C-alpha cells in the first residue's frame, strides 16, 4: 500500500495528514505505530485523516489517531493543520470549514497573517464527561502519588483533560507524574495531563503529557482545557495567551455557557509518500 501524505506542525506538535478521498487507505494500529516511529517511519504525534462527509452542512470528517494507534476525539493543533491541508490540496476553497470529529462539530475559520481560529465548542466539567470515576462532583480532585496528593481539575474539550496548577513548569516532574496519571484506573479512557503555571490573568505557561503520545511541544486542546479551568476558577481573564514549548496560542472564552475559541498558526513542512 502506497500512502500519499503531508507532514505539518503547529508549534512543534507534528502531524501526518492524509485522506481517504483521493486514495483508499486500510489502516490499523500496527500500521499507524509503524508510521509514527521517528527512527523507522515518518514520525508524528498524531495521524489525521480527511474523509468525505455525508452529513448536510458538514464539509469533512476529521479523524485523529495518536502515535500509539488509538483513535481519539479531538486535537486543536491538528484542526488548524487539517484545515490548512484541505486548502493546500484544493479539497476546499472555503474560508469557513465545518468538520466532524468522533463527538463534536468544529468550525474552522481562516483569519489574516496565517492565523486559524477553531471553535472548540463548550467545555464540559462533569466527571461523566471525562470519564472520571468518583463518588461525587467536586471543584477540585486529588490523587495520591508517592505518599503525597496531587490536586487537579477535570474538563472535556471533546477529549479528556486533567489540569494541575504548578508554581513552575520548569521545575516540575511532568513526565513522571504525567505518565502516572494518564494510566490511572480512575480514568478508564486514559487522560491528557496539563501542567499550568499562571504568570498573570492573561498569560499562562503550559506543558502537556498527551494520552498515547507522551509530552509534546504543544497541545491545542490542552491549552483550551487549562484556560477553561482557570476562567472557571476566576484565576484568568477571558482572553489568554498560552505559552508552550513550541510557541504560543490564544484562547478566548467569554462565558461558561458559550463556545471556546483557539487561535494560532499552522505550518506545512513537506509532502511525501511511503510504501507499507
Active site residue 224: no
List all residues 6 or more positions away from 155 whose beta carbon is below 8 Å from its beta carbon.
Answer: 123, 124, 125, 130, 161, 163, 225, 228, 229, 232
pLDDT recorded at residue 221: 96
Contact 249, 258 (CB under 8 A): no
Residue 171: name the closest of 197, 145, 204 by CA: 197
pLDDT recorded at residue 135: 92
pLDDT recorded at residue 53: 94
pLDDT recorded at residue 24: 87
- Domains detected in the chain: 2-120+265-275 (3.10.310.10), 127-257 (3.10.310.10)
C-alpha pair distances (Å), 226 with each of 19, 191, 198: 31, 14, 10
Q: What are residue 165's DSSP bridge partners?
A: 196
Pairing of strands 203-210, 192-200: antiparallel
Active site residue 267: no
35: exposed, middle or buried (C-beta count within 10 Å: 0-12, 13-18, 19+)? buried
The enclosing H or E element of 56 equals none
CA dihedral 46, 159, 220, 31 (to 10 degrees): 0
Q: Could you tell me the mean pLDDT of each successive run of 10 residues in the chain, 276 residues long?
A: 94 96 90 95 96 94 95 94 97 96 94 95 96 94 94 97 97 95 96 98 98 93 97 97 97 91 97 92
Which is catalytic among the residues 81, 117, 162, 219? 219
**Which pTM was predicted?**
0.93
pLDDT recorded at residue 26: 87
Residue with the three cell numbers 490540496: 89
Cell of 262: 483557539
Which is catalytic among the residues 75, 81, 162, 224? 75
Helical H runs in the chain?
A: 29-36, 76-88, 174-182, 220-232
pLDDT recorded at residue 118: 97
pLDDT recorded at residue 220: 96
Amino acid at each position: 500500500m502506497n500512502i500519499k501524505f503531508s507532514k505539518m506542525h503547529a508549534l512543534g506538535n507534528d502531524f501526518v495528514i492524509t485522506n481517504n478521498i483521493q486514495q483508499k487507505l486500510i489502516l490499523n494500529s500496527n500500521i499507524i505505530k509503524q508510521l509514527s516511529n521517528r527512527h523507522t517511519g515518518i514520525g508524528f504525534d498524531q495521524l489525521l485523516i480527511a474523509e468525505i462527509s455525508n452529513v448536510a452542512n458538514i464539509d469533512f470528517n476529521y479523524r485523529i489517531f495518536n502515535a500509539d494507534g488509538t483513535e481519539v476525539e479531538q486535537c486543536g493543533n491538528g484542526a488548524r493543520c487539517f484545515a490548512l491541508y484541505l486548502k493546500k490540496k484544493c479539497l476546499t476553497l472555503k474560508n469557513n470549514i465545518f468538520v466532524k470529529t468522533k463527538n463534536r462539530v468544529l468550525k474552522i475559520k481562516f483569519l489574516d497573517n496565517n492565523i486559524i481560529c477553531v471553535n472548540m465548542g463548550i467545555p464540559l466539567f462533569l466527571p461523566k464527561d471525562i470519564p472520571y470515576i468518583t463518588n461525587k462532583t467536586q471543584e477540585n480532585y486529588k490523587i495520591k502519588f508517592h505518599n503525597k496528593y496531587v490536586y487537579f481539575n477535570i474538563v472535556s474539550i471533546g477529549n479528556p483533560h486533567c489540569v494541575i496548577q504548578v508554581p513552575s513548569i520548569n521545575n516540575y516532574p511532568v513526565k513522571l507524574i504525567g505518565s502516572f496519571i494518564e494510566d490511572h484506573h480512575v480514568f478508564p479512557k486514559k487522560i491528557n495531563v496539563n501542567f499550568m503555571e499562571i504568570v498573570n490573568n492573561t498569560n499562562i505557561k503550559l506543558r502537556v503529557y498527551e494520552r498515547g503520545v507522551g509530552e509534546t511541544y504543544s497541545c491545542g486542546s490542552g491549552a483550551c482545557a487549562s484556560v477553561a479551568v482557570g476562567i472557571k476558577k476566576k484565576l484568568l481573564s477571558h482572553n489568554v495567551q498560552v505559552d508552550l514549548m513550541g510557541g504560543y496560542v490564544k484562547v478566548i472564552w467569554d462565558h461558561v455557557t458559550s463556545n471556546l475559541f483557539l487561535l494560532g498558526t499552522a505550518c506545512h513542512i513537506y509532502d511525501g509518500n511511503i510504501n507499507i
